[in-house]
Amino acid sequence: MAQKLLPCIERKFRVRAGPEHTSVIGSSLGGQASLQLLLRYPDLFGGAACMSPAFQPATVAAVISNLVENMDLSLDILGNDVIGFLSDQLGSSRSISSLSEKGRGRSSSLRSKRIYLDNGGDTDEVSVPLFDMGDHITLNENWLNPGYWWLDTSLQPMIDAVRWLLDQGQVNYQYERFPGGRHNERAWGLRIDRPLLALYGKGRRMAGKDQQTAREDGGVNNIR
């Protein structure tokens, strides 16, 4: 996406390039990929929206790595278990000590980015039903998409882990919970306005650019 699709779009369409105008949006594993793209290509993407993200351990490690490299987070608060986990995820190519070298800042800080997270699933007040007829019926189309009735609930621990890290690193982000929301395109489509507003709505926090200037610029933004 970063090396082939994005350059192709910028060649063929009248869009504004640069991270202040370009964001990536994904759901489920696509939500994880969105955050990874933001971490890996900070010079291309200024925001990421992760809907019901299926965050994996490597994603958590990448977030920790970014925060520590930019001195937004100290390894001292993580504990030996988390540091051991991070070592396993990074592998032999990078040492834990190299992350905490002062002033190195190899990557762009997440504090300068726009981040949106959400998920549905069970809460104390609302449970996700095993079956929802609305998932099986689409007007004028023969479409069967039962979704995963349990998945958003099972994703909560990893989402909470990423949120905790962002909080510890004092990273601004928007998180929304949709009690009873299911894990499928129908559920995501019903709330697609939320990430779009978070990334490009009036008053949103722009990446690396003054908000007032960004609002006056106008033009077309890139939304992946």
Other beta carbons within 10 angstroms of residue 32's beta carbon come to 22
| 130 within domain boundaries | yes
Closest CA to 206 of 46, 49, 35, 82: 46
Residue 217 belongs to a domain? no
The pLDDT score that the predictor gives to residue 94 is 53
pLDDT (average), residues 39-64: 94
Task: Decide: 35 and 59 in contact? Cβ < 8 Å.
Answer: yes
Q: What percent of the chain has pLDDT over 90?
A: 46
**Can you read off the two tokens belonging to residue 89?**
């995820």
Domain extent for 146: 18-209
Residue 124: partners with Cβ closer than 8 Å, 6 or more residues away: none
**50 found inside a domain:** yes
Q: What predicted TM-score, i.e. pTM, was given to this entire model?
A: 0.78
* Separation of alpha carbons 86 and 83, rounded Å: 5
Question: Would residue 57 count as lying in a domain?
Answer: yes
Look at the chain and report how many structural domains it folds into.
1
The overall average pLDDT reported for the chain is 79
Q: CA 134, 124, 27, 175 torsion: positive or negative?
A: positive
Query: Of 34, 115, 107, whose CA–CA distance to 65 is shortest?
Result: 107
Give the CATH number of the domain where residue 193 resides. Answer: 3.40.50
Per-residue model confidence as pLDDT tens digits over 88-103: 766 644 555 555 554 4
Q: Please check whether residue 61 lies inside any domain of the structure.
A: yes
Please state, in angstroms and rounded to a whole number, the distance separating the CA atoms of residues 6 and 41: 12
Report yes or no on 121 lying in a domain: yes
Is 115 inside a domain boundary? yes
pLDDT digits (tens, 9 = 90+) for 143-189: 555 556 568 888 999 999 999 999 999 999 999 999 988 888 888 99
The CA distance from 160 to 173, in Å, is 13
- Inside any domain, residue 193: yes
CA of 72: how far to CAs of 52, 59, 83, 172, in Å?
26, 17, 16, 12
